[in-house]
Structure 1
Amino acid sequence: MVLQANIRKAQQGDVEAFNQLVLAYQDHVYTAAYRIMGDATAADDMTQDAFVTAFRKLGQFHGGNFKAWLIRIAINTCYDELRRTKRRPTESINDDDYDSEANPKLVSKADSPETYVQRSELRSAIEDCFELLSAEHRLVVTMSDMEDYSYEEIASAVNISLGTVKSRISRARMRLRDCLKTKGELLPSVYRQDNVS
């Protein structure tokens, strides 16, 4: 397998092999960093720092899920930076995340202006509720629901137990649901509490 070969070569000091690993995983690492830092420039910096750290620590990787290992390094890099600067992480699901060119399934050519406005308001409500979550809850729900990581991958990446992952995701979803209930008029009717089938 190419991945394993590149890891072995990189562990022996092959910079080109490590560059191949960077190319394969930079989007995943950047996404994790952005979700924690909430800022593109900071996420770029943390991504670069994470890969520098990963290169230095390649000898400590002894198999397993390489992507989860990299994400754990990225998460630790971000939290170290946040502690160093003593600033609160921010999370933003902004319009760039929902750009119609990047996500063509999210925008239908048949959408009326009213539907477009409703979707925009719903997106804003979800973002507002999401920002009320703690950094720990935002991270695990982002990894699970937006990045499609398994619970096991999240546990490994964040260095917490599987039970803690499950409880944090459950609490985060419950808090999101409770927050969104207060914005019921923005929810499609099938999701409203008062909808009776």
Structure 2
Amino acid sequence: MQSIETRLARLAKTGDRGAFADLVDLYKDKIYHLAYRMLGNRQEAEDVVQETFLRVFRSLERYDESMKFSTWIYRIGTNLSIDRLRKRKATYSLDAEVAPDGEGTDWHGMLASEEPTPEGQVLLSETQRRIRDAIETLPKKYKSVVVLKYLHDMSLQEIGDVLDMPVTTVKTRVHRGREFLRKKLEHEDIR
């Protein structure tokens, strides 16, 4: 049985603009969150979303229907994000992406906390910030697999398909990325 995405892609190939719009609606937020987690910058993430759908539109005739559409589009979004990371100059800002009105924070930061006390909310927010900051420091080769595994809940096989690498390599990079984060967070606790 075909997935809805495959049917929409087939219709979009024939020029059905509504089908393409449906694909955009299905994946725009997912690609945005992927790009934002990899790049840590709202504007760049929005640019990656636009570039991803532009590439999808231009390449629809080459889409192989035996492949999951989600794998194909995640591969495009991930590769565009990695390209942007490679082109970046090393610039760091302690207050990047956080404005006084809260604009620019990621959607995780806007979720209501289940902690009833303000102290608990501050601790949760601080923990999320520490983890997000630690992810930012991951080497590129670990960052993409960690983001896909833990923030997009992809299986090792799906990550291997997206990044076009063997599952054993993905498994190793997930493990090393997790170890890197653990050591980074432990080091911060010591200070």
Which TM-score tier does this pair reach, normalised by the shorter chain?
Answer: 0.7 to 0.9
What SS does the aligned partner of 2:79 have?
helix
Residues 102-113 of structure 1 mapped to structure 2, 5 A cutoff: 102-104=110-112, 106-108=113-115, 110-111=116-117, 113=118
Alpha-carbon distance in 2 for matches of 1:152, 1:133:
21
Evaluate the alpha carbon distance shift between residue 19 and residue 148 of structure 1 in structure 2; reply closer, same or farther with a 3 A threshold.
Answer: same
Q: Which consecutive unaligned segments of at least 5 residues does structure 1 have?
A: 187-197
Which protein is bigger by CA-based radius of gyration?
1
Q: 1:120 to 1:2 in 2, by over 3 A?
A: closer
Please state how far the C-alpha of 1:89 moved relative to its aligned partner. 9.2
Moved over 6 A (4+): none
In structure 2, the gaps of 5 or more residues are 99-104
The answer to whether the aligner puts 1:123 opposite 2:131 as a matched pair is: no
- Which secondary structure state, in structure 2, belongs to the residue aligned with residue 182 of structure 1? helix
Q: Tell me how many residue pairs correspond in the alignment.
A: 179
Instruction: Tell me the secondary structure at the aligned position of residue 35 of structure 1.
Output: helix
**Counterparts in 2 of 1:107 and 1:89: CA distance versus 1, 3 Å:** farther
Task: Name the amino acid aligned to 2:108.
Answer: Y
* Whole-angstrom CA distance in 2 between matches of 1:125 and 1:31: 18
Partner of 2:55: 53
Among the aligned pairs, what percent are the same residue?
31
Residue of structure 2 equivalent to 1:98: 108
TM-score of the two chains, using structure 1 as the length reference? 0.78
SS in 2 for 1:54: helix
Query: Are residues 89 and 150 of structure 1, via their aligned partners in 2, closer, same or farther at CA, if it must alter by over 3 Å?
Result: farther
2:162 equivalent to 1:157: yes
Cα drift, residue 39 of structure 1 = 1.2
Q: Report how far residue 166 of structure 1 moved.
A: 0.6
